[in-house]
Structure 1
Amino acid sequence: MEVNAHQAAEPADAGVTTGFLARKLGVSPMTLRSWDRRYGLGPAVRADGRHRRWSPDDVRMMQEMCRLTTAGVPPAEAARTAKRHARAHGTPAADPLGPSPVATDGRAVTASARTPPPEDEALDGEPLAGDARRECRGLASAAVRLDGAAVQRHLTGAVRAHGLAMAWEEVMMPALHAVGRKWQASDDRHVEVEHLLSWHVSATLRHAYVTAAAAREALQDVSPVLLGCLPGEPHTLPIEALGAALAEQGAAALMLGGDVPAEAFLAAVHRVSPLAVVLWSQSRSTASLPLARHIAAERWGVQGARTHTTVLLCGPGWDRRTEPGLLRPYGLRDAVRMIGSLAAERPN
């Protein structure tokens, strides 16, 4: 009801505020500001020269940006496409702005709850875009040459220079997309290149996860975040990246891997009492809302103090619309921020 009242106070012709747009898109205000700084995706009008007001065209542009990044398109490429889409189309994106995400107990997740604490601000800091672009090209070139040692040097250097989350979004993922496009354009002649790069990316992510987890023995007493791919879903690299990024931020991440049976998810929930469950789906054929709802409804804990866990729907397989009791992050860093907010709210 509070959101509806706020919405009524935001006339379309005057534009909407950054906080309002962030709630409706399901991202943090800091993400919108970061996209403005890094890719020029800011509002066309700033009332009184100070306050940011997003016009309907701006909103359509940001809808497209969210849709593309959720589908796995690198942020810089998604921003260019979103700008072209906003200029060329006068109609809204396919999916309207959905309701604000809500936690498993039905409470709205406010913009402030999803804004990272000051120490996490570096995740949204402005990177050296030119350096990241060169690193991505160098990584892809090394993979095409089948130079495994050079591939690993590029990956290790990117993680050290930018941190895991930024390295994944700005270097690893764009390189994987570039190699995939080369393979498709060459009648599948370069499949060995994609396999080599994928293996080294996975090795880098797992090494980062193990190293971060080993440095924090205290995580044994922290409620873990349970991560896994839905039944029939074998694509694990994005969720491995999320697990490594969570470990790097000090969270306890428990990885189940790819193609996890439904019964295994439910059994793990009851055994470890997780802070959150992340369900990854790469395609619509594996996204199962009934399973997600079932996990979100599971109760665990001692009699008289039973609770349930938060479920995050990650990956392009899920519909963009949000559902009560299920969170829908837009990208790796948004998922890290959501989980960080949940950890801050729950005493261990």
Structure 2
Amino acid sequence: MPGPSTLVQHWVASGWAAQWKPQLYNYRDGELTPSPDEQVRWVGVPRMSAITRGLLKDVTATPLLAAAPKLAAVAAGVQMEPTWAIALGFETPLDTPMQGCFVQANPLDWLARNRSKPGRDAHLDTWVLHATSDWSKQHIDLAKEEVIEQLWGAFAEMLSCSVPAPTFALAHRWLYARPAVNHEWGTLADADLGLYACGDWCLSGRVEACTSISETAMNAPLSSRKPRLAISACLTGLNVRYNAGHKASSLCLDLLDEHFDWVPLCPEVAIGLGTPREPIRLVGDPEHPVVTGTLNSTTDFTGPLREYGEQMAEQIDDICGYIFMQKSPSCGLERVKVYQDEGRPAQRAGRGVYAAAFCARRPDLPVEEEGRLHDPVLRENFIARVYTYADWQSQLRQGLSRGALTRFHARYKYLLMAHNPQAYRSLGRLLGSLNRDDDPAHIADKAELQQLIGQYQKGVVPLVVPSRTCNPIRKTLDYAMPSDELLPIGEVARLTGVNPVTLRAWERRYGLIKPQRTPKGHRLYSQDQVQRVQAALCWLERGAAISQVRELLDGSTNTPPTLQGEWGERIEQMITATTRLAQRPLDQLLNQMMALYPAVTVCERLLLPLLEALTSRWQTHFDARLEQFWLCAWLLSSNGHHLEILEWSVEPRQLRLAVDRLRPHTLLLHLGRRPDLTALGRALRETNVKKLLGGSTVTLHEAELRALPLTDLYLFDSPQAALRRFQQP
């Protein structure tokens, strides 16, 4: 199937579509200003329905979504919002050069001059006006005549010219016009069924977004897109251990299963050992251990296990990583006990024989032990290596060229820059040494290119041993964004993960960001604007609607706190200890300050500024509000109050049972993302205790919470406020 660019060319050749080059304006704060745009726009000819009519001419529609429950569940969860649209026709053309306009802070959201579009009837000066979703919801049942009257009035107020009564007017109510939330899904896929779904509701709710993401779906092969990982078979729940049991990993089966396809392997069973069987262990020299039975030490399994490891390393060449069972004499990657003649383990640990042989043949393959993957830092690093390795192997299968290597390097340069700046500079110099003669005829014979491929294989794909003191996003932004540098929209999209179409919508529809413009109209973003995009993402993650984000950003500050004096020194020391994950210095610093000052003072002057500083440093990784909520519990306990902490999310029915059994003096609740306020209200109505409600989303739902018919309900935004309210009678 052709990609969208080829598809659009086909539409144009068939007479269904043509390019539209409007003179665009922007209306904000009562001011109408030109707004040049570099985006290419296409419209149906002679009307928008011409494209769908042409596509459906010889097509039989078949319902597929019902057969794909994964895709159906996602689609069912998309909330759509309505839009009122009207068309106004004037005998005399309006005296304005405007042909399209993005409108803000107005009942209108978008308007277009129909006669400026190719193939339209120019007899009348016809305008199409779209209302905002908020206005449309408020006036959803308004009569069409009233809708026309109000939107016509708003249109007339925008223009500096006179707007007479229209010759004709039409109104149409779209009940499902645009998604309520701008998703960043792109193309949705059910790899098991080989089905793909895409539409404007998958991205920003615009036709351009639908066209751009359809390229991924149309060019994607109808096969599984998940990387394949080899895994110790016992971790998948197979009964292959010596006692005929298993060591099923909830991490792999519940958390990682939806992202990877598994290739279970058990070397003991593969070399002919049954289940149940005599346990095996490592004995002898930790550098070159021997595998024997724990009861019969005369049987040597070292050779068969080593040979099987070498065999599998050659045969399963389509995997992108391997998860081994820890501490296993066959599969352990490190810290495996090696027993001596007297039966005691050696001081030095060894490696599983099978794992050592496999890794020796596949040194570039990402490998990790299941136990270590419970560490979030190690797990993130392993997953990044797996996906990088999968991308690199895909690139090798497609063939290497100068352009392909340049694009691959562009995708991973920031990751490499954060972990290994020296390798980043070396690879950049090698790429720069290539010339057009290398693409593609002589690509395989270029010595420098072979060196480059080798460095990618050893440098980019395995990355480095993860460093807990490394903040890749911060180092990347510091490297790539000096304070006086302006970035194009594509680079901002790469840094923030927000699609360019969405960035344009945030600017024009919601006024979230204000990029600068080149003489040709191209957008350029300062570091402050990029940080504003990241702050907007944080609010969206907390459950805020996109229409609320501008007010939230304008009412807050992202300026890092100033750390001065003794308290500032202590905070800096605790930040250093935190980045190194050094618990003892943290405890010592906290105990020292607790010995000198009251708990409330330590919380206000030390812990809260510490969390604020850390939130500023880790803005794209962490939300410190939950830690602040934990401080509420810590602060109360430090004042002599007994606490019962429920360490999991509690359903409303379970909440009532917990209150009935524990009979607390006060109920302290953290409001999560997108809460069900109706269910919460029902649950709290049956609890006759004081209720303190806080969390990152309280401010977003304050009006609805205060409207709940509840007694003894108090909202708070800081631990001190919770403590003061708790201490009141």
TM-score range, shorter chain: 0.3 to 0.5
Structure with larger RCO (C-alpha < 8 A, sep 6+) = 1
- Structure (1/2) with the larger strand percentage: 2
Q: Give 1 or 2: higher helix fraction.
A: 1
TM-score by length of 2: 0.20
TM-score computed with the length of structure 1 as normaliser = 0.40
Structure showing greater Rg: 2
